[in-house]
Every structure is written in C-alpha cells, then in structure tokens.
Amino acid sequence: MPELVSLFSADIPLIMQIEAQCFTDDHWSEKQIQQQLLNVNAINLGIKVQGDLVGYALVGSVLDEAELYQIALLPECQGRGMATELLAQLCQQLAVAGMQRLLLEVRERNVAAIRLYESFGFTQDGRRKGYYASVAGVEDALLYSYRIRG
C-alpha cells in the first residue's frame, strides 16, 4: 500500500532520478529542487511503495493560492491511482493551510496529466501560446485551477 511522506534534502537523489525518467524536455535541476525543499511556503509530498520513493508533488503558495510546480510518478507506477491519492492528500494539507485554490500549467500534449487533472476536478482557465520550447518546436501551456474545499 502506498505511503505518503514529507520530502527532505536527503530525498534529492531519488527525486532527480524520477525527474530524469518523467521529464525529458524540462526537468528541474538539483539546485531548484533543493530550493523548493527549503522553501517555508512549500508543501512537498512524496509517495513510497514498499519503502521506495516512486513519486512526488512540489507545491508553492502565496497568500491563499497554491501552485503545483511538479508532480511525477515513475512510469511503472502510473495508472494505479497513486497520483489521484497524492493530489487528494495534497489538497487536504492545502486546506488545513488555508489555501483556496490550486493552480497549475501543463503541456497541451501531456494527455495523461490532463486526464488526471480533469478527473480530479480541475477546470481549464486559459492557455499560454508557445510557452514551452522543445526539440519539436513550441507548445502551448494549458492553465488549470482547482477550488480547495476545506
């Protein structure tokens, strides 16, 4: 059964491994992850299976809004409901912290993530044209929000 845990600096090597497997175009650097884990306005959750870190969510906040910066699960763990469980626990913690909305942006070609967000109850609020650059060219970012119920 998956276990949800807080993330710490000691988890950075494992987070970097997951980043490399999940994000080919724009994964975070070790320095960015370190800064995120040290951010007092952040909630950083990991998900473990049999004691091994298999995914995480990195969130920052300003006033009563939070932004989901990264969410990732190892490919072999996707499609098992773990990302939904991670989002649900994250939203519970955000509600306790007084957050009203969770915002995110996602590449328009990331169909699996879009399905996850929409099935969870996120609403598409906008689009940033040509926001992401990749080897294949530019790609739009879709903007989503979720109203946190506390």
Q: Quick one: pLDDT at residue 81?
A: 94
CB atoms within 10 A of CB 148: 21
* Known catalytic residue at 85: no
* Known catalytic residue at 56: no
In this predicted model, what pLDDT tens digit does every residue of 124-148 receive, in sequence order? 999 999 999 877 789 999 999 999 9
Overall pTM > 0.85: yes
Q: Which helix (H) or strand (E) holds 15?
A: helix 12-22
When divided into structural domains, the chain yields a total of: 1
Query: Amino acid letter at 44?
Result: N
In this predicted model, what pLDDT tens digit does every residue of 5-54 receive, in sequence order? 999 999 999 999 999 999 877 789 999 999 999 999 999 999 999 999 99
- Considering the candidates 117, 132, 144, 146, report the single residue annotated as catalytic: 117
Q: Quick one: pLDDT at residue 150?
A: 67
Specify the CATH number for the domain of residue 86. Answer: 3.40.630.30
In which domain, by residue range, is 74 found?
Answer: 3-147
- Considering the candidates 19, 56, 105, 146, report the single residue annotated as catalytic: 105
